[in-house]
C-alpha cells in the first residue's frame, strides 16, 4: 500500500446525522402529541381495565375515572351502552362521584346534563337502569329543556322489557321536576305484579288540586286485579279521593269484566232510594253488553230520571235493534207518565 494512500471516511455518520435532523421535528411533534393526548390515553386505559376487571376491582377503576374529571364524561356515558350491568353500575358510580364533587352552580353540571340526555336514547337496558339512578343529578342543573327530555326518558323506561327499569320509571315520574305520571298509567295493567303495585301506589292518591293522571274508572278496574295488595291499594286510592264505601261497592260492579256483574249493579241501583242513580244509569246505557244497556233504559224510566234525551238517542243509534225498541218504548212511557 502506498504511503500517500489514506482511508476514506465512511459517509454513514453524516447520513445518520442528516436523518436525525430531518426526523427531529417529527419526533418533537410525536412527543408533544403524546403529552397532549396523555389524559385521553389514560381514560381509555382505565376504561379498558374497568371492563376487564372483576366485580370487586371495578370500583377502583371507577374511582380513577372519576378523579380525571370532565374529560372522562363522554367515555363514561358511552359505557352506559354496555350490556354488562356491572360495567354500567361502575360507570354510573364514577359519574355520580364526579358530578357530586362539582359545586351546585358549576357550569360543568349543565354541560354534563345536556350530554346525558343526548346519549340516553342509545343506552342499553342495564345502562338505562343506571341512568335513572343518575337522574336526580342530571336534573340538578335546573335546565328546563333537560327536564323535558327526562319525561321522554321516563316514557321509554315505562316500556322497557326489564321489570326493574319499569319500576324505576314510576319513581322517576313522581319527581317534581319531571311530573309525568300520565306516562306510567299503562303500568296499572302491567303483567308483573310488583310493577302494578308501585304504579297504583303512585297513581291512586290525589296529590294536588289538578286533574289526576288516572280517573276513578281506572282505579275501579284495579279493584278486580288478581293481586289482593293491588286491590287494597286501589281502594285506598279511591277513599283518598273522597269516595264512600257505597261508591266503591257500586263502582266495583260497574268496572267488572263480567257483564253478569254489571247487570247486578242494575239490581243494586233499583234499591238505592237516597242516591241519584241517573249518573250511573247514563254510563250503563253505553255498556258494551246489550242486556246491560236495555236494563239501564228500563230502570231509567222506572226511576223517572232525567234521561229522556239519552233514551231518544238510544232509540235511534244503538247498534242493537232490540235495545233500540226497548229504549224507544221506555222513552214514550216516561213521556206518558208526565
Question: Residues 229-276: pLDDT tens digits?
Answer: 999 999 999 999 999 999 999 999 999 999 999 999 999 999 988 888
Task: Please tell me the predicted confidence (pLDDT) of residue 308.
Answer: 92
Q: Band the pLDDT of 336: cuts 50, 70, 90.
A: confident
Task: Please tell me the predicted confidence (pLDDT) of residue 29.
Answer: 45
**Mean pLDDT score of the chain:** 88
Task: Please tell me the predicted confidence (pLDDT) of residue 206.
Answer: 77
Task: Please tell me the predicted confidence (pLDDT) of residue 273.
Answer: 84
How many CA atoms lie less than 13 Å away from 141 in the CB half-sphere? 23
Which grid coordinates belong to 223?
279493584
Task: Please tell me the predicted confidence (pLDDT) of residue 19.
Answer: 54
- With a threshold of 0.75, does the pTM exceed it? yes
Q: Band the pLDDT of 31: cuts 50, 70, 90.
A: very low
Report yes or no: 78 and 86 within 8 Å, Cβ to Cβ.
Answer: no
Residues 6+ apart with CB under 8 A from 57: none
Is the pLDDT higher at 212 or at 332? 332
Task: Please tell me the predicted confidence (pLDDT) of residue 36.
Answer: 44
Report yes or no: 139 and 150 within 8 Å, Cβ to Cβ.
Answer: yes
Task: Please tell me the predicted confidence (pLDDT) of residue 141.
Answer: 81
Task: Please tell me the predicted confidence (pLDDT) of residue 27.
Answer: 47
Task: Please tell me the predicted confidence (pLDDT) of residue 143.
Answer: 80
Is the pLDDT higher at 17 or at 274? 274
Q: Band the pLDDT of 116: cuts 50, 70, 90.
A: very high
Task: Please tell me the predicted confidence (pLDDT) of residue 32.
Answer: 45
Q: What angle do CA 290, 276, 217 make, to 5 degrees?
A: 60
Amino acid at each position: 500500500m502506498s504511503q500517500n494512500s489514506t482511508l476514506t471516511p465512511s459517509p454513514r455518520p453524516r447520513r445518520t446525522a442528516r436523518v436525525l435532523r430531518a426526523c427531529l421535528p417529527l419526533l418533537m411533534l410525536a412527543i408533544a402529541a403524546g403529552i397532549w393526548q396523555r389524559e385521553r390515553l389514560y381514560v381509555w386505559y382505565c376504561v379498558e381495565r374497568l371492563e376487564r376487571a372483576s366485580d370487586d376491582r371495578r370500583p377502583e377503576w371507577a374511582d380513577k375515572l372519576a378523579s380525571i374529571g370532565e374529560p372522562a364524561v363522554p367515555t363514561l356515558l358511552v359505557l352506559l351502552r354496555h350490556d354488562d350491568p356491572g360495567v354500567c353500575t361502575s360507570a354510573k358510580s364514577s359519574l355520580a362521584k364526579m358530578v357530586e364533587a362539582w359545586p351546585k352552580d358549576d357550569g360543568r353540571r349543565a354541560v354534563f346534563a345536556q350530554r346525558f340526555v343526548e346519549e340516553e336514547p342509545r343506552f342499553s337496558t342495564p345502562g338505562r337502569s343506571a341512568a335513572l339512578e343518575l337522574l336526580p343529578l342530571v336534573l340538578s342543573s335546573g335546565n328546563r329543556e333537560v327536564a323535558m327530555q327526562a319525561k321522554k326518558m321516563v316514557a321509554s323506561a315505562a316500556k322497557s322489557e326489564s321489570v326493574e327499569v319499569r319500576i324505576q320509571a314510576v319513581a322517576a315520574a313522581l319527581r317534581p321536576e319531571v311530573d309525568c305520571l300520565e306516562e306510567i298509567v299503562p303500568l296499572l295493567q302491567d303483567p308483573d305484579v310488583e310493577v302494578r303495585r308501585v304504579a297504583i301506589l303512585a297513581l291512586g292518591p290525589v296529590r294536588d288540586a289538578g286533574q289526576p293522571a288516572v280517573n276513578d274508572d281506572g282505579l275501579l278496574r284495579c279493584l278486580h286485579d288478581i293481586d289482593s295488595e293491588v286491590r287494597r291499594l286501589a281502594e285506598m286510592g279511591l277513599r283518598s279521593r273522597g269516595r264512600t264505601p257505597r261508591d266503591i261497592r257500586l263502582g266495583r260492579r260497574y268496572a267488572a269484566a263480567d257483564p253478569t256483574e254489571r247487570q247486578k249493579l242494575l239490581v243494586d241501583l233499583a234499591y238505592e232510594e237516597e242516591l241519584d242513580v241517573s249518573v250511573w244509569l247514563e254510563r250503563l246505557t253505553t255498556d258494551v253488553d246489550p242486556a246491560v244497556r236495555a236494563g239501564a233504559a228500563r230502570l231509567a224510566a222506572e226511576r223517572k230520571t232525567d234521561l229522556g234525551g239519552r233514551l231518544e238517542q238510544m232509540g235511534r243509534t244503538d247498534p242493537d235493534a232490540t235495545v233500540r225498541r226497548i229504549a224507544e218504548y221506555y222513552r214514550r212511557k216516561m213521556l206518558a207518565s208526565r
